[in-house]
Amino acid sequence: MKIKITLLLFTILLAFACNKQNKMILDTIFIKKKALLLPDNKDTVPYININIDFDFVHPKSFNNKDKLQKLQQLFQKQFLGENYQKCNSPQEAINIFIDSCVTKYREIYAKSFEEQADSTLYYMYQHSISIYNKVVFTNNNLISFYVTNSSYQGGAHGLYSKILVSIDLKNIKEITFKDVFKKDSKEELTKIIQAKLIKIIKDKGGNKSYFFEFDEIEPNENFYVTDKGVQFTYNQYEIAAYSSGLFDVFIPYNEIKQILKSNFMEEYNILN
């Protein structure tokens, strides 16, 4: 009886330790900011500005301080770019990014706007940038999220992009293609992705000719993993024209189990 109780207590303590091992708390930084193109002359020129809108979900706490900073830096890299990865905190990264955006906006466009005689072109100076991210799956071993970036910086239309990321919470590193798929899986995975793209473009009312070079489309590194499967995203201009939009290709695990690395599901504690 004592042995059974001891084993039960050990099991409970082990389960508690595993749950605590990579415990993470997330927080969100909300930013809504407007900056005038000509702040010193705002009473004598049209109200032209840049709109900045951010919702930045990021780790606030983690079981290890050094790991927390490294994890936050990976989020900063994906949300704002590599130049902001080494900032000391998510808030510092956001502040530096906004200051840089406003400074560049004024340096590049202020003079040409003051010289602009055609008021019908004023809209080209009304810029915007909107970035937000969303966590789609997390457990003790990984976290997966996407980042969307929508901007208008003059020209015929704005731009929209979507970055997909999975992070290994044990080793604090981005999960790559070789972490998920077997070494010689690219050819088979390519066929699966191409078949799904054909269905997607048909659902949009198009056909194979809408793609730039359909036979050259391959798996990219813009993907994340969840408890259901793997999703790849191809952004505007990557495989088709701007008007076709981006392409989200989701593949359930039961369609690719033969090309997944043998230890992948266990390594990242994915139950499927």
Indicate whether 158 belongs to any domain: yes
Q: Which residue pairs, CB below 8 angstroms and at least 24 apart, start in 228-236?
A: 228/252, 228/253, 228/272, 229/253, 229/255, 229/256, 230/180, 230/256, 231/164, 232/164, 232/193, 233/146, 233/162, 233/163, 233/164, 234/197, 235/160, 235/161, 235/162, 236/159, 236/160, 236/161
Last residue of a domain, one of 119, 150, 174: 174
Give the tens place of pLDDT for each residue, 122-149: 889 999 999 999 999 999 999 999 999 9
Note whether 216 and 132 are same-domain residues: no
Structural domains counted in the chain? 2
Confidence check: pLDDT of 220 > 90:
yes
Domain check: are 150 and 255 in the same one? no
Q: Looking at the chain, which runs of residues are DSSP E strands?
A: 25-36, 49-61, 127-138, 142-152, 159-168, 173-174, 223-225, 229-234, 247-252
* Domain membership of residue 144 as a residue range: 19-174
Instruction: Output the pLDDT for position 115.
Output: 86
Residue 225, in any domain of the structure: yes
Both 247 and 195 in a single domain?
Answer: yes
| CA–CA dist 154, 256 (Å, integer) | 43
Share of the chain above pLDDT 90, in %: 72
- How confident is the prediction for the chain on average, in pLDDT? 89
The model's confidence at residue 121, banded by pLDDT at 50, 70 and 90, is: confident
Tens digits of residue pLDDT in 146-180? 999 999 988 788 899 999 999 999 999 999 999 99
CB 122 within 8 A of CB 59: no
Residue 194's domain is classified under what CATH number? 3.90.640.20
Domain annotation covers residue 42? yes
Q: Domain ends where: 174, 194, 214?
A: 174
Q: Are residues 103 and 222 in the same domain?
A: no
Model pLDDT for residues 55-104, shown as the tens digit of each residue:
999 999 999 888 999 999 999 999 999 999 999 999 999 999 999 999 99
Among 118, 139, 174, the domain boundary falls at 174
Residues 131 and 184 occupy one common structural domain: no
Give the whole-number percent of the chain exceeding pLDDT 70: 89
